[in-house]
Chain A
Amino acid sequence: MLMHVINMEHDVFKANDKIAEKNRKKLDKYQVFSVNVMGAIGSGKTTLIEEAIKQLKEKYKITVIAGDVIAEMDSSRFRKLGVPTIPVNTGKECHLDAKLVEKALNEVDLENTDLLFIENVGNLICPVDFKLGEHLRVVIVSVTEGDDIILKHPMIFKTAELAIINKVDIAHAVDVNAEKMREDILSLNPDVPVILTSKHDWESLETWIGFIELGLKKNAQ
């Protein structure tokens, strides 16, 4: 019997990052602008994506990858708006990873897509470690989650490229200060744009949609 130590140095997350890079290259080849939408269950991910689709679908060709434990429910909401939607059932998994997105991308008509929304599984923890190849990492948090939610989940806000505080119209009812939430986000990530939104406030939705459109235009340059 002999004992050997074998050095492996295999980084599990890097393996994911490599596939994410491949995804990114593929998206860039077809000039698709991709948005990874993360946030807790019930934060309003599906609703905010729906609002953006309604506004942008005449101008741009949009596709959605809808990741969920059971993805069909959200997918049917997107299909109702007439955009191609690929449901990705993660089963017991709590996040999308680059491999799942790689597989889903095979089903996307990339030549006929300008904008790809990737709705992640409702969760503020697990999606953080897994890049997908996206151009924009968005995190949505709703005031109903309580105003201490941000400092409890610092990494997702620290790594986000756009942060949205949603349902601000009911902040008072749930005794939450949305401004404190904004300050907490900025304390973790001083340069991140923060948007306060409400489904019932059209102007706030326009800001969110405008941000996406800006990304689309920059990506096309």
Chain B
Amino acid sequence: MHELSIACEILEQVKNTAAAHGAIKVKHVTLQMGRLSHTNPEQLSFCFKAIAEGSIAEDADFIVEMVPPSLECECGYTGAIDEKQIQESSEFTSELLAYIEVDKECPICGKQAQLAGGRELIIKSIEIETEDDLTADR
């Protein structure tokens, strides 16, 4: 179970960014989690809420957007994976295996494309409340 240490890292980053922007409250924390990463979104959310107690992010909504891997071929083609196929085979096997075993034939050159991405864990953005009229950095 490594969700706790990841949650600690996320809270640290969120607190630093919030403080740097003069926040009095963090309302939302939005993450992007790759579907091939070995992190459990529910456990991560639970850990974050537990450690955020008493901090500026105490009442923040913790939003996890799951990001699927995509296909990348040596011919230069990049494209999405047929999610319907993943859903169907996920019923018989794990989702991880479904992505690995999905048909990866490149629609352009016919070679086998590779999985790209899907392993990230990104703190995408936070929504904060401030008292003063700050020009929010972007």
Contacts and interface: CB of A to CB of B under 8 A. Distances in A.
A199 B121 CA distance: 39
Given A4-B134, A10-B122, A12-B122, A154 B21 contact: no
Contacts, number: 96
A109 interface: no
Given A12-B10, A129-B39, A3 B129 contact: yes
A6 B137 contact: yes
B38 A1 contact: no
Given A12-B6, A13-B119, A126-B38, A2 B130 contact: yes
Contacts of A5: 125-127, 136
A9 interface: yes
Interface string B1-41: 11011100110011001100101000100000000111100
A14 interface: yes
Given A2-B134, A129-B38, 4 more contacts: A3-B128, A11-B121, A94-B1, A155-B96
21 contacts: A2-B131, A2-B132, A3-B128, A3-B129, A4-B21, A4-B129, A6-B21, A6-B136, A7-B124, A7-B138, A8-B124, A9-B122, A9-B123, A9-B125, A11-B122, A12-B9, A13-B37, A129-B37, A129-B119, A154-B100, A155-B38
* Nearest 10 interchain pairs by C-beta: A4-B136, A10-B123, A12-B121, A8-B123, A11-B122, A7-B125, A126-B2, A5-B127, A125-B38, A154-B97
